[in-house]
Amino acid sequence: PFGRGKRWGGDLHPVANVILGGWQLSALNSFRSGAPLSINVPGATLGNGWGTRAMLLGDPEISNPDRNRWFNTAAFGAPPLYAWGNSGIGLIDGPGSHVLDLGLVKNFRVAEQKSFQFRWEMFNALNHVNLSNPGTTLGTSSFGVILGAGGPRTMQLGLKFLF
């Protein structure tokens, strides 16, 4: 809304308009809750070649989950041989995510139907750490531990000629 022929700054000097006018800002903010996770027991505990869900032995929630311990791993155990586990499907929520993507665009008119467009785009602009899901296989070294995260802030610059 700023620059020659716009709501504000319509009477700008042409040189000032080249610098101040023609900018656009775009944003995309994404919030996601954590995925529902189920705890699995490896191996053929049912006698049919398939594993089963774990036995729920206590409260899986902890007060301050972090990447080294997302849930109470002591709350789960292996079921007896040839028995189904009693823990529910999607019993635990994984970590949520927050991503803000921003774009700043400047248009430079060269002729009536020709222009250059400069773009500066930032993905995960706030550089928020978005943790991956924890390990959910009982008895493994990664059980209850988060070993990864989403991408860091990424920026790209672009210039294109529109004709």
Full 3-state SS string of 99-119: EEEEEEEEEEEEECCEEEEEE
Q: Which segments within the chain are labelled E, that is strand? A: 23-32, 36-37, 40-41, 52-53, 55-56, 76-77, 92-93, 97-111, 114-123, 154-162
pLDDT at residue number 17: 74
Q: Can you tell me the mean pLDDT for 61-90?
A: 93
How many angstroms separate the CA atoms of 51 and 63, rounded? 30
DSSP state of 74: G
Check whether 133 has a pLDDT greater than 90. Answer: yes
pLDDT at residue number 102: 97
Question: Are 151 and 129 in contact, with CB atoms under 8 Å apart?
Answer: no
Strands lying side by side in the sheet with 114-123: 23-32, 97-111, 114-123, 154-162
Check whether 44 has a pLDDT greater than 90. Answer: no
- Where is pLDDT greater, at 107 or 102? 102
* 9-32: pLDDT as tens digits: 667 777 777 777 778 899 999 999
SS3 helix, strand, coil % of the chain, rounded to 5?
Answer: 5, 40, 55
Please give the structure tokens belonging to residue 86: 């009693």
Q: Can you tell me the mean pLDDT for 101-120?
A: 91
Check whether 148 has a pLDDT greater than 90. Answer: yes
Confidence of residue 5 (pLDDT cuts 50, 70, 90): low
Q: Can you tell me the mean pLDDT for 97-123?
A: 92
Q: Can you tell me the mean pLDDT for 68-74?
A: 97
